[in-house]
Amino acid sequence: MKPETHVVSLTVPAEAEFIDLVRLTLYGISSKLGFSYEEIEDMKVAVAEACNNVVVHAYEPGAAGEMEVRFERVEGGLRIAVKDHGPSFDYEEKARRAGSLHDKSLNEINIGGLGIYLMQALMDEVEVRTQAGTEVLLTKRLSRSEEMV
């Protein structure tokens, strides 16, 4: 028998004022799954960063666009996907050029490149897919031994 999947999806305009709706939805789902306050706050920051990247980078200024956000219960945690339909880019090349932040002073770091590092620090897994737009997959596992309801 196939395991039951629980997915909640939102499609919202790629505009900053809709990021709060995504964060509120995340709060409701993650609190129901049993995540701690600290885990929820970490996820809210990471998801807001992914959504902000869509708002700022995915579409030409003034062009209408949307972002799809999918919340999926996975074994032991929650996966959040944030997807846009803007032009794709070579993520691997961009990550290679960004390099490591170790041994760099603050004035050597570009502010625009910190989002992925922040997401990686706050989430257990981060994956970026760049076919037909950009999709960021953020996974957080429950740190407690409790089973999800």
Total domains, the chain: 1
Q: Is residue 2 assigned to a domain?
A: no
Q: Is residue 42 assigned to a domain?
A: yes
Q: Is residue 147 assigned to a domain?
A: no
Q: Is residue 32 assigned to a domain?
A: yes
Q: Is residue 70 assigned to a domain?
A: yes
Per-residue pLDDT in tens (0 to 9) along the chain, 149 residues? 455 668 999 999 999 999 999 999 999 999 999 999 999 999 999 999 999 999 998 998 888 899 999 999 999 999 999 999 988 765 665 555 555 555 555 555 555 567 888 999 999 999 999 888 999 999 999 986 444 44
Q: What is the CATH number of the domain that holds 113?
A: 3.30.565.10
Is 0.85 surpassed by the pTM of this model? no
Burial, 65: exposed, middle or buried (Cβ in 10 Å; 0-12, 13-18, 19+)?
middle
Helices 37-53 and 115-122 sit at what angle, rounded to 10 degrees?
Answer: 160
Three-state SS at 138: strand
Q: Is residue 126 assigned to a domain?
A: yes
- Residue span of the structural domain in which 25 resides: 7-141
